[in-house]
């Protein structure tokens, strides 16, 4: 910043305010990784079971509601009562409540690997859409004249291969054995750790 800029800043309205008033626009400190903040409730995921309201240690008293109150529309958080203990997030069966710390280890979700995958040859595919119609898990779609497979939802039933009018346009590719073994070892380790931590 040059001297001219500095002078301009001081003489500006914002600069005068800063100079004359207790005011700071800086961010103060960074919240730590494991800090338990006020819980946030995701109304999309919530199944209104009431477990969080049961677990809340701050009970009701005359005139004041509990920190987490169960209403007809779902749990409501009263911030002025909350003590940020995180019990509500711990008991939630569908992980609809987040407080920052307690779900730290659950972020790394390991799914069992699929032994094979469905591959579409874009040169041979004619985009007729038959596979889309027969697919039971809605995993294959025709986009711009070529079928595309969603690996996550594919269940490897091979219905699309049977329905395909062009031989060899849709193929079943088995996975590499070494890689499969590595994936399974990882999963077994994680499961063992989870069981131990419980």
Interface pattern 99-138 for other proteins (x via CB under 8 A):
-xxx-xx---------------------------------
Q: Which of 59, 115, 127, 145 binds other proteins (CB under 8 A)?
A: 59
- Would you count residue 35 as binding other proteins (CB under 8 A)? yes
Give me the least distance between CB of 32 and other proteins, in Å please: 5
CB nearer to other proteins: pick between 45 and 78: 78
C-alpha–C-alpha distance, residues 128 and 55, integer Å: 55
HSE toward the beta carbon, residue 40, CA cutoff 13 A: 7
- Would you count residue 18 as binding other proteins (CB under 8 A)? no
Quick one: which segment of 35-43, 118-126, 150-158, 177-185 binds other proteins (CB under 8 A)? Answer: 35-43
Q: Which two tokens stand for residue 35?
A: 């800090």
- Would you count residue 13 as binding other proteins (CB under 8 A)? no
**CA nearest neighbour of 112 among 189, 179, 187, 194:** 187
Quick one: which segment of 80-88, 119-127, 167-175, 176-184 binds other proteins (CB under 8 A)? Answer: 80-88
User: What SS3 class is residue 194?
Assistant: helix
- Would you count residue 16 as binding other proteins (CB under 8 A)? no
Cross-strand bridge partners of residue 148: 141
Run of H or E including 117: strand 116-120
Quick one: which segment of 6-14, 83-91, 128-136, 159-167 binds other proteins (CB under 8 A)? Answer: 83-91
Q: How many residues bind other proteins (CB under 8 A)?
A: 41
- Would you count residue 60 as binding other proteins (CB under 8 A)? yes
Rg (CA), the chain: 28
- What CA dihedral angle connects 123, 124, 128 and 131, to 10 degrees? -110
- C-alpha to C-alpha distances, 160 to 113, 140, 163, nearest whole angstrom: 21, 8, 5
Could you list the residues that contact other proteins (CB under 8 A)?
20-24, 28-29, 31-36, 38, 55, 57-61, 63-64, 66, 78-87, 100-102, 104-105, 196-198
């Amino acid at each position: 910043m040059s001297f001219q800029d500095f002078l301009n800043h001081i003489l500006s309205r914002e600069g005068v305010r800063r100079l004359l008033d207790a005011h700071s626009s800086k961010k103060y400190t960074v919240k730590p990784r494991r800090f338990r903040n006020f819980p946030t409730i995701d109304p999309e995921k919530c199944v209104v079971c009431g477990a969080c309201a049961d677990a809340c240690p701050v009970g009701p008293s005359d005139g004041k509601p509990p920190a987490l109150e169960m209403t007809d529309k779902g749990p409501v958080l009263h911030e002025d009562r909350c003590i940020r203990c995180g019990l509500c997030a711990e008991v939630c069966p569908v992980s609809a409540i987040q407080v920052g710390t307690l779900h730290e280890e659950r972020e790394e979700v390991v799914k069992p690997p699929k032994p094979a995958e469905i591959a579409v040859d874009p040169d041979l595919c004619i985009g007729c859409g038959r596979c889309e119609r027969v697919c039971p898990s809605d995993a294959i779609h025709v986009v711009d004249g070529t079928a595309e497979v969603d690996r996550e939802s594919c269940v490897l039933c091979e219905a699309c291969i049977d329905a395909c009018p062009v031989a060899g346009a849709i193929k079943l590719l088995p996975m590499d054995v070494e890689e499969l073994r590595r994936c399974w070892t990882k999963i077994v380790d994680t499961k063992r750790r989870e069981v131990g931590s419980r």
